[in-house]
Structures are given as C-alpha cells and as structure tokens.
Structure 1
C-alpha cells in the first residue's frame, strides 16, 4: 500500500516571517534609542547592530540603508506620540468636537508629564529643531495624515470649512504649546515651572481652555467679516 505524501504546511514560513518582523522591530527600537541619544549624524549602524546584538548586514536587509532606518524611526517615533488609528477613532466618534480635542491633547499631556519619556519624543524634537534631509519623510508620512484629522476637528469647533485658511492657522496655534512642552527640558518643567508637571489633569484642562478660547476668538473674527 502506497501512502500519499502530505503537502508541507506553511507554518515554518510563517514562523520565519514572524521572527523577521520581530527582529526588524527590535532593530527599530534600539535604533530609536541611539538616534535619540546621538542624533542622525553621530549614530552609526555599527553601534545600533552591536546594541541590538544582530550582524552588520541586518540594517540593510530589513531597511535598505541607515538613512532608511532613520526614516522608519522618525515615523515610528511620531506614531508613538500620536497613534493615527487612535486619532481616527476619536475623530470619527459621535460627540462634541471639543471633547475630541481634549482626548487628543490628553495623549500629549501624558507624554509630557509621564515619569519616563519614550525615545520617540526626543527623536522627533531633534529632527524638528535641527532638520536633516529625511525631514520630508516625517512630514509627509507621519505629520500630514494626522494634521488632516486634526483639521477636521478644528473645523467642527470653528464652524468653518477644513480648507479655510483660518482653520489651518488655528490648528498651528493650538498645537504650538504642545510642541513647546515637548521641547522644554525636564529641568525647566520640574524646576523653573514645576506646575507644568505637577498635575496632569489640571494641565490638560488649562491647555484645553487656552486652545478653545483662542479658537473661539478666531471663529468670532471670521463670523464678523
């Protein structure tokens, strides 16, 4: 009696792919830490691979080059600050747009006042303060899609079309304090202006009040035209 050979399953291939994804994510996390500490110019693939405990070919295999690794880190870093899926869920939910804005600002305040900052905020701030040739990737792949979501929320609050120039300016003014808090050294937030870091809930409500008051003033100005 002959036996029909069984068809090999795809489990080993799936396992290999899963291992590859895990290795890629591990390299990404370690690279984020190194770029946060040293900046793009001074971070080397050699140090990243040594700290990640992978061979030197891993960066090129998983990312293509050190520059492309840095671009992936930039996008990952910004997504850690504001996850696009979470923002989209907030924007699409029913409810007052002011509450949606509060939910977005709450995530930023959590990063600012948290006990241990993720490397993502430092990487993003380094790039914004001292842009490299890779800045357009951060803008187009990470910032622009989220700005579009925020423009929708701002539009609903202002009662103006999302394409209105006043909405764009209002969004920029609204997010500027958030950038300032992220850039501010911890010593400033804990020593010189300790109230910034002492009570996250009160900070959130003050930030929201500040943003909404400014947006109301802008909306009133355009209603009078």
Structure 2
C-alpha cells in the first residue's frame, strides 16, 4: 500500500486527517437527510450521531455546535440545488451576454424536478418556508456569492454598473421564476401549470423571450 513507502510519521499524520475528513462528510450527509426529514427543530445532535454511528461529541468537534453543523448543511443544500461552479461556467464562457442568459435559463429549467431527488432540495425548501436562526448563513455564504455572479452577468447585459438598482430588479425578475420552478412542488408543474414541465416543448424559448424583452426594455429605459 502507498503508506508503506512513507515515513511512519507522515503516514500517521495523514491517516487521522483523512479519517477526520471522512467523518465530517459523513456527518454532513447524515445530518442533511435528517434535517430534510424532520426539520431544524426536530433534529438533535444525538439523533444525528446515532444515525451516523459516531460519538456524541463528533458534532461539536467537527462543526463547533449543532447550529454550526446546520449552517454547513444549508450551504451544501444550496450547492445541490444550484452550484457556484455551474454559474461561473456561464459567466466565464466565450458566449455573448444574450446567449449566456439564455444558457442560464435553460440550465435552471433542466434542473427543475431534479432537485427533488436530493436532500438539499428539501432542506432549502424547509428553510425558506420556516427560517431558522441560521438563515443568515444560507444568505451570506450560499446565496450572496451566487447572486453576485448573476448580478455581474446582468450588469453586463444591461450595460449598467453592478450597483445600479435596475440590475438587482432585473436579476430578481429573471431568477425568481426559475427558483419557483426549482423549488415549487411537483404538482405545480404537473397539474396546475403543466406547461411549466421541464420537458414541455418551447418552455425555454418562451421564458428566454419574455426575460430578454423585459431586460431590453430596462436597458433602454436606463440608457445614459
């Protein structure tokens, strides 16, 4: 094995670090599933450690507290719904601003319905419906960085400074429908508004047409 070729001191140092990272990830995953099922108030550190098969002190050791663990769960949950890497892929591509926005909308549409298969989707939905004391962690560490990425793309399209109010408003009117599709209950897409089914023909084209027409009007209204 690889560790046989390392000095004993190196192997000894590396093994605990790897074990610690594995335990931390395992706790995060188990906690995410329990928080998704029972919510913030219905899940204790004891519940998590029993399910994870670790010592009760593991939560405090790896996350500082139950709230620290829940904060980490919220950040990972939001990553499962929409990752920062996927947003950066659009912003950093060689496409023009119009095609980047089209691609972003298409990405959100494709994700609709997929998130329900992950515990992250259910955790974020619970947190939105009933905010916990850790809601600021979700906003500051997960949502804000991604919003900044989209705001930069929006500012470029509108040809306005990123601090301009129209950038934030345009972003809201573009992203909120996408979030509704991502986090709305399945019945909304299959029963009430079946034309919002991700596989519905023409959905991306119609959404893109609507969004870009609105953004073009905003850009014209605020042109200097």
TM range (shorter): 0.7 to 0.9
Structure 1 window deviating more from structure 2 (71-80 vs 213-222): it is 213-222
Which position in structure 2 is the counterpart of 1:104? Answer: 104
Can you give the 5+ residue segments of structure 2 that lack an aligned partner in the other structure?
A: 1-5
Tell me how far apart the structure 1 counterparts of residues 172 and 90 of structure 2 sit (CA, whole Å).
19
Residues 187 and 59 from structure 1, CA distance in 2 versus in 1: closer, same or farther, beyond 3 angstroms?
same
Offset at residue 89 of structure 1 (A): 3.4
Report SS of the residue matched to 1:42. Answer: coil
Conserved? CA contact 2:80–2:115, under 8 Å: no
Tell me how far apart the structure 2 counterparts of residues 169 and 122 of structure 1 sit (CA, whole Å).
27
Report SS of the residue matched to 1:208. Answer: helix
Which position in structure 2 is the counterpart of 1:36? Answer: 36
Conserved? CA contact 1:125–1:182, under 8 Å: no
Aligned residues: 219
Residues 106 and 200 from structure 1, CA distance in 2 versus in 1: closer, same or farther, beyond 3 angstroms?
farther
Conserved? CA contact 2:110–2:198, under 8 Å: no
Greater than 6 Å deviation, 4+ residue runs: none
1:16-62 CA-to-partner distances (Å, cap 9, x unmatched) read 21121111111111111111122111112222222222222211111
Offset at residue 115 of structure 1 (A): 8.1
Offset at residue 185 of structure 1 (A): 1.4
Which position in structure 2 is the counterpart of 1:192? Answer: 192
Structure 1 window deviating more from structure 2 (82-91 vs 196-205): it is 196-205
Conserved? CA contact 2:112–2:198, under 8 Å: no
Tell me how far apart the structure 1 counterparts of residues 178 and 157 of structure 2 sit (CA, whole Å).
18
Which position in structure 2 is the counterpart of 1:13? Answer: 13
Which position in structure 2 is the counterpart of 1:142? Answer: 142
Which position in structure 1 is the counterpart of 2:3? Answer: none
Residues 130 and 117 from structure 1, CA distance in 2 versus in 1: closer, same or farther, beyond 3 angstroms?
same
Residues 65 and 187 from structure 1, CA distance in 2 versus in 1: closer, same or farther, beyond 3 angstroms?
same
Which position in structure 1 is the counterpart of 2:155? Answer: 155
Can you give the 5+ residue segments of structure 1 that lack an aligned partner in the other structure?
A: 1-5
Report SS of the residue matched to 1:191. Answer: helix
